[in-house]
């Protein structure tokens, strides 16, 4: 091996062990730098006889080019390795399943309320909304339940001191106050354009029928597997000139059969008492099939609106008559989905709630 081949080999070896660009540049200086081995050989040529200069010069050049080529190869190799490391670090694993955004859903009781609104909507009922913090007048007195009436004891609720028609002081115990609130608004709207009976201040002119449901939250001092201090009710009211108990039976039967998707569902109107209706009935339903078949299940209170309540609506009971009902959407939801503890609806446990998505 002559001296040039040895230099080329040692340059290749030096480049080969360089692990970083800076190492490589240092190695390059040892061969091609100002006092590098190849540079020194070039300088030494001055001392050679003329006839040797040409061949020696050409040989040194070949060696120099070989070293430069090795240097470039190594530069490229180091750059490739660097890139490789970077790509690995930034790699996306496209085989990994993406994280989906969680899909929400409506609360089961909200699903029931939507369903109730849709069914009664199809029968021409409006939907009314009213305050949860009520006055004594709307929650009790206007509904024919004066102070000290025994029916008030079943409706214990949360009170604050004071209160008047203008200053609500209790959490409503039922949605029935909406009967009065909605009817009064309705009567006001039409009594402006018709006659008001001067004698007793009650409206006896013509007006479109009142046909409304009022779903919402209600409150009582009550708490166990089937009672929660906050619960839902949905009130219904249909008042006109010739609305009878038969209409109540028809409307409520139709509603229950549609709601439970069961054409052979049987209803029973069991005599009962409510101060604001006379006569009054509790509505029981009986499934003919499924796990609840044969049992009577109470779903609503109902009755013909009491004349005193009709008066408190601003209407003349000699002309206007109708029916009302109040049902529990929480209970309807339990029956529809087979849930046996009401508290599950209000615990906010996602494992329970996500089953209704
Ligand atoms: N408000 C009654 C309650 O909460 C339920 C009720 C009964 C409502 C009869 C009515 C009705 O409209 O006619 O116990």
Categorize the per-residue pLDDT at 194 as very low, low, confident or very high, splitting at 50, 70 and 90.
Answer: low
Residue 179 C-alpha to ligand 1 middle, in angstroms? Answer: 10
At 339-356, the pLDDT tens digits run 999 999 999 999 999 999
Rounded CA-CA distance 282/267 in Å is 10
Categorize the per-residue pLDDT at 199 as very low, low, confident or very high, splitting at 50, 70 and 90.
Answer: low
Categorize the per-residue pLDDT at 1 as very low, low, confident or very high, splitting at 50, 70 and 90.
Answer: low
Q: What is the pLDDT of residue 195?
A: 59
CB of residue 301 inside a 6 A radius of ligand 1? yes
Sign, CA dihedral 126-131-134-135, equals: negative
Residue 233 C-alpha to ligand 1 middle, in angstroms? Answer: 9
Fold designation for 108-356: BirA Bifunctional Protein; domain 2 (3.30.930)
Rounded CA-CA distance 34/215 in Å is 94
At 281-297, the pLDDT tens digits run 999 999 999 999 999 99
- Nearest CA, atom 8, ligand 1: 326
Percent of the chain with pLDDT over 90: 74
Q: What is the pLDDT of residue 263?
A: 95
Position 146 pLDDT exceeds 60: yes
At 30-85, the pLDDT tens digits run 999 998 889 988 888 888 888 888 888 888 999 999 999 999 999 999 999 999 99
Position 97 pLDDT exceeds 90: no
Position 249 pLDDT exceeds 80: yes
- Nearest CA, atom 13, ligand 1: 302
- Nearest CA, atom 7, ligand 1: 301
Rounded CA-CA distance 294/186 in Å is 42
Position 301 pLDDT exceeds 90: yes
CB of residue 174 inside a 6 A radius of ligand 1? yes
* Residue ranges per structural domain of the chain: 2-89, 108-356
Percent of the chain with pLDDT over 70: 97
Position 122 pLDDT exceeds 90: yes
Q: What is the pLDDT of residue 176?
A: 98
Token readout for 276 is 């604001």
Structural contact between residues 226 and 342, judged by C-beta atoms closer than 8 angstroms: yes
CB of residue 140 inside a 6 A radius of ligand 1? no
To the nearest whole number, what is the mean pLDDT of the chain?
92
Rounded CA-CA distance 286/288 in Å is 6
Over residues 175-183, the mean pLDDT reads 98
């Amino acid at each position: 091996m002559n001296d040039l081949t040895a230099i080329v080999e040692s340059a290749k070896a030096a480049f080969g062990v360089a692990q970083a660009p800076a190492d490589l540049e240092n190695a390059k200086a040892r061969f091609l730098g100002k006092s590098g081995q190849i540079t020194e050989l070039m300088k030494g040529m001055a001392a050679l006889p003329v006839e040797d200069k040409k061949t020696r010069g050409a040989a040194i050049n070949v060696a120099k080019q070989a070293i430069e080529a090795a240097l470039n190869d190594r530069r490229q190799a180091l750059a490739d390795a660097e890139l490789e490391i970077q790509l690995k670090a930034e790699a996306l694993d496209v085989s990994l399943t993406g994280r989906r955004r969680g899909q929400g859903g409506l609360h089961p009781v909200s699903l029931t309320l939507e369903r109730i609104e849709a069914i009664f909507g199809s029968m021409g009922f409006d939907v009314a909304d009213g305050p949860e913090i009520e006055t004594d007048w709307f929650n009790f007195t206007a509904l024919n339940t004066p102070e000290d009436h025994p029916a008030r004891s079943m409706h214990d609720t949360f009170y604050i001191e004071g209160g008047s028609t203008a200053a609500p002081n209790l959490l409503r115990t039922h949605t029935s106050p909406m009967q009065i609130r909605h009817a009064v608004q309705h009567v006001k709207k039409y009594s402006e354009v018709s006659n008001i009976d001067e004698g007793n201040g009650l409206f006896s002119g013509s007006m479109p029928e009142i046909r409304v449901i009022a779903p919402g939250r209600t409150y009582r001092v009550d708490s166990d597997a089937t009672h929660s201090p906050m619960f839902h009710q949905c009130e219904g009211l249909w008042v006109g000139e010739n609305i009878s108990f038969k209409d109540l039976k028809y409307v409520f039967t139709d509603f229950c059969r549609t709601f439970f998707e069961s054409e052979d569902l049987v209803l029973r109107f069991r005599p009962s008492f409510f101060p604001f209706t006379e006569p009054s009935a509790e509505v029981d339903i009986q499934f003919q099939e499924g796990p609840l078949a044969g049992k009577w299940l109470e779903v609503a209170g109902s009755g013909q609106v009491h004349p005193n309540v009709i008066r408190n609506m601003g209407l003349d009971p000699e002309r206007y008559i109708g029916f009302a009902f109040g049902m529990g959407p929480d209970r309807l939801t339990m029956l529809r989905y087979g849930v046996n503890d009401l508290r599950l609806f209000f615990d906010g446990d996602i494992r329970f709630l996500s089953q209704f998505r």
